[in-house]
A and B are shown apart, each in its own frame.
Chain A
Amino acid sequence: MPERNLSNEELNEILHLIHRTYGYDFRDYSKASIKRRVMRCMEMSSLKTAYELKFKLANDPEYFKWFLEVMTVNVTEMFRDPEFYTELRAKVFPTLASYPIIKIWHAGCATGEEVYSMAIMLKEEGLLDRAKIYATDINPLNIEKAKKGIMPLQHMKNYTHNYIRSGGRAEFSDYYTAQYGNAIISNELKKNILFSQHNLVTDQVFNEFQLICCRNVLIYFNKELQNRVINLFYDSLSPLGYLAIGTKESLLFTDLRDKFETISSENKIYKRKKGIANNK
């Protein structure tokens, strides 16, 4: 089998071209993942060289739409890492309960599975009516899918298992209706969720939150970009607000590690220390 290869220079040229032409900036993404994903796109569309890919990207906006869909990672599940949800319920929700309006941001929500998991937990703790969840993603197609809340029924067995392990209190099947091989999330869970497009790389603070969930998104960024995004989160959190990141992600390599208190080192839940302004 011939080795399809992409040099670092070629990769950089492609990322620059995308930024110039479409405004999406992948230049500070972690190189190993992005290279693999670009090569995957090339393979799926039978393009052999970087030149062919650049030509296609420069001249075919429809192709770019597809490319963006494949490039952005959309892998997610409901109640992923059940222990994370158990801890969130036990250690964060009691504090959230003291706010008259609970504002939560799910950054990089992909197709919404974790957002709906959060809504289910809020409902079970009697907090859903007071909650406003902002769920954002870079990819407009993800947002469309997330809004619909339709997922393949065959995933539900695994999700039910996760839900039970996370300490769920009801029947998981109460939260969706099965139809034509799909599970449709109940409307009650959707009513306090606002889905919209937001790009963590280029967009700014848009509200103040008591909880920001951004799990397994930062791994795709290099250290500089991770640092920038953690600053964005810091600025978007109310004093004593909570930040949850992926279980293998870390604030250790960022400037702001001292400005957060660790709530769970295992499940990577942090709390913003008081301090009013972020004096960068």
Chain B
Amino acid sequence: MIEVVAIGGSAGSLPVVMAILKALPSKFDYSVILVIHRLKNVSSEMERILAGTTDLQIREPEDKEPIKPGVVYLAPQNYHLQIEADRTFSLDYSELVNYSRPSIDVTFECVATIFKEKAVAVLLSGANADGAAGLDKIVRRGGVGIAQDPASAEYKLMPQSALDRNKEISSQSPEHIVNYISTITSLPNRKK
């Protein structure tokens, strides 16, 4: 069974993120982790914007908070979001990674390490290569890696970097991604 669905996105990713949130069932037994690049010093309304699209609970986790199933977590502005072996979040305010904080690579690498084949990760539109190394690691640890079809992305570089890096990452249109995620609960993992 899938335990975590991790979604990374940057410029141009918001419409897809919102479509995914809308399509999520009202109850699901995995955790969703969103890492979306945001402006650094403008107070971000992201949590509110996303909450407006869905009845689901969306939380910016606090440091050392345990990860629970059925919750959508949003990486807080200006922190890297990491996951510890005891399945708690830990935050990090250190240097930018790939010019980004939160960095998608940082979170995806933790997801790969902790959840291995029980992880699904999706990398959406964006104008830099953050997330490509992380998605690669998720696939190498037996998880499912999906990149938004670059042709459908407002900014191709991010999904394209991941696809260039690992041939096992599948390229899918936003509609397919939304469909796939909406059916995930009953989906046995391919390597189980």
Contact = CB atoms under 8 A, between A and B. Distances in A.
Interface of A: 1, 3, 8, 30-33, 36-37, 73, 75, 83, 158, 161-162, 216, 218-220, 222-223, 226, 246, 248-250, 252-253
B64 interface: yes
Nearest to A33: B92
Interface of B: 41, 43, 60-65, 76, 79, 82-85, 88, 90-95, 106, 110, 133, 137, 140
Contacts, number: 65
A219 B137 contact: no
B131 to A, nearest CB: 15
A250 B94 contact: no
Contact of B82 (A1, A33, A161): A33
A250 B92 CA distance: 14
Nearest to B82: A32
Contacts of A161: 41
Contacts of B61: 248
B100 to A, nearest CB: 14
A256 to B, nearest CB: 14
Contact of A30 (B76, B84, B95, B140): B84
Pairs of residues from A and B, 8 with the lowest C-beta to C-beta distance, nearest first: A32-B82, A73-B94, A216-B93, A30-B90, A219-B63, A219-B91, A250-B62, A33-B92
A33 B64 contact: no
A149 B63 CA distance: 30
Contact of B60 (A30, A219, A222, A248): A248
A3 B136 CA distance: 11
15 contacts: A1-B133, A3-B137, A8-B85, A31-B85, A32-B84, A32-B92, A36-B82, A36-B92, A37-B94, A158-B41, A222-B84, A226-B64, A246-B63, A250-B64, A250-B65
Nearest to B66: A253
A30 B79 CA distance: 15
A250 B93 contact: no
